[in-house]
């Protein structure tokens, strides 16, 4: 049954790439908007989870009607992401650049031109593949990211070809070797690494406070910054009717004092704070349809406030397995597709 389900998943995505990219643009996006509204009206498990997450973002004063309104737009933006994904390979570089507006672009360009290297960390917002296709034009070698190895293997290989076609070098989270070392080499050579980094699926994430509750962030971007001294930039994304928008936030500097685990914990909390500010400004563009906070994942062991880690408690960045999914999570993760 598992093999049959895997095959069904693969053929569904294969059909998406084969069919959706050939549909007239208005028809394609209209179809995905209809699918989004249908899913929202059914209010299945994923939509209910999205609304539960949005309730924390919008705060205790938000009414059910307000949460439902944001979740409706959220589902439309989520399905717009998928429609974009199936069509992005057919876009010219001119269209990629013309349909994204970037705040802070010169700051990132200047850092890369200096040869220092840069790490971009972003949450599941907007369309990170579109942003990645744009970012790949900033350097001759594109950029490096890390992606979860999907099942079935042929689906992972198809996503790998897709991402490589838009300028990404993709390192696998599992089944490969030297992943973290590969990221270190990329940034030390003055290159760019991009990682989706607000959801940790392992036990090695770093506790942070996020919208008033504790969750865990993947340690990867912070650990990479500490190990290489490369610049670490949070980025948040959102849609308007015509374009994708990206905000490159100011560099998060590695603290001068403290142990390595303490520096990583500090940077993770700074990332969480910046992500929260960006998500609060554009809540309908945060595609989080899974459990995130510890109180939802494991109520009995949830921490209500993260504490500074003791030396040695944060994952070490010197092994292939470290530091969890965030040296890990690439521009795509979760849902078997992203």
Q: Would you name the residues annotated as active-site residues? A: 124, 198
CA dist., res. 195 & res. 109, Å (int): 18
Q: DSSP letter string over 222-267?
A: HHHHHHH--EEEEEEEEE-SS-EEEEEPPP-PPPSSS-HHHHHHHH
Q: Which residue has the tokens 């992500």?
A: 275
Q: Which residue has the tokens 């950029």?
A: 143
The crossing angle, in degrees rounded to 10, of helices 128-135 and 64-87 is: 50
Q: Which one, of 133, 124, 125, 142, lies nearest residue 97 by Cα?
A: 133
CA dist., res. 227 & res. 142, Å (int): 22
Strand order across the 168-172 sheet: 100-103, 244-248, 231-239, 118-122, 192-196, 143-147, 168-172
Between the alpha carbon of residue 231 and those of residues 119, 210, 299, the distances in Å are 6, 23, 36
CA dist., res. 178 & res. 223, Å (int): 15
Tell me if 208 sits within 8 A of 216, measured CB to CB: yes
């Amino acid at each position: 049954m598992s093999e049959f389900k895997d095959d069904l998943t693969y053929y569904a995505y294969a059909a998406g790439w084969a069919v959706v990219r050939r549909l007239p643009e208005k028809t394609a996006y209209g179809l995905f908007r209809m699918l989004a509204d249908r899913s929202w009206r059914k209010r299945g498990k994923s939509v209910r989870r999205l609304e539960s997450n949005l309730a924390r973002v919008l705060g205790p004063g938000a009414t059910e009607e307000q949460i439902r309104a944001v979740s409706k737009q959220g589902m439309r933006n989520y399905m717009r992401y998928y429609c974009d994904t199936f069509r992005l390979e057919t876009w010219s570089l001119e269209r990629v650049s013309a349909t994204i507006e970037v705040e802070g672009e010169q700051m990132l360009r200047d850092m890369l031109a200096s040869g220092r290297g840069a790490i971009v960390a972003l949450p599941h917002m907007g369309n990170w593949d579109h942003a990645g296709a744009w970012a790949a034009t900033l350097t001759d070698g594109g950029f490096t990211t890390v992606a979860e190895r999907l099942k079935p293997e042929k689906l992972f290989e198809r996503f790998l070809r897709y991402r490589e076609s838009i300028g990404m070098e993709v390192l696998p989270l599992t089944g490969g070797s030297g992943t973290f070392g590969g990221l270190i080499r990329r940034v030390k050579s003055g290159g760019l690494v991009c990682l989706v980094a607000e959801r940790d699926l392992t036990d090695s994430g770093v506790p942070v406070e996020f919208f008033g509750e504790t969750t865990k962030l993947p340690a990867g971007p912070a650990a990479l910054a500490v190990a290489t001294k490369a610049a670490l930039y949070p980025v948040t994304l959102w849609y308007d009717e015509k374009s994708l928008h990206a905000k490159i936030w100011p560099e998060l500097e590695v603290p001068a004092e403290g142990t390595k685990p303490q520096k990583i914990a500090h940077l993770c909390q700074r990332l969480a704070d910046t992500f929260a500010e960006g998500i609060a400004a554009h809540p309908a563009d945060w595609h989080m349809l899974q459990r995130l906070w510890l109180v939802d994942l494991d109520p009995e062991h949830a921490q209500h406030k993260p504490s500074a880690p003791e030396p040695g408690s944060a994952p070490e960045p010197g092994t292939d397995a470290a530091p969890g999914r965030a040296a890990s999570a690439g521009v795509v993760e979760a849902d078997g597709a992203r």
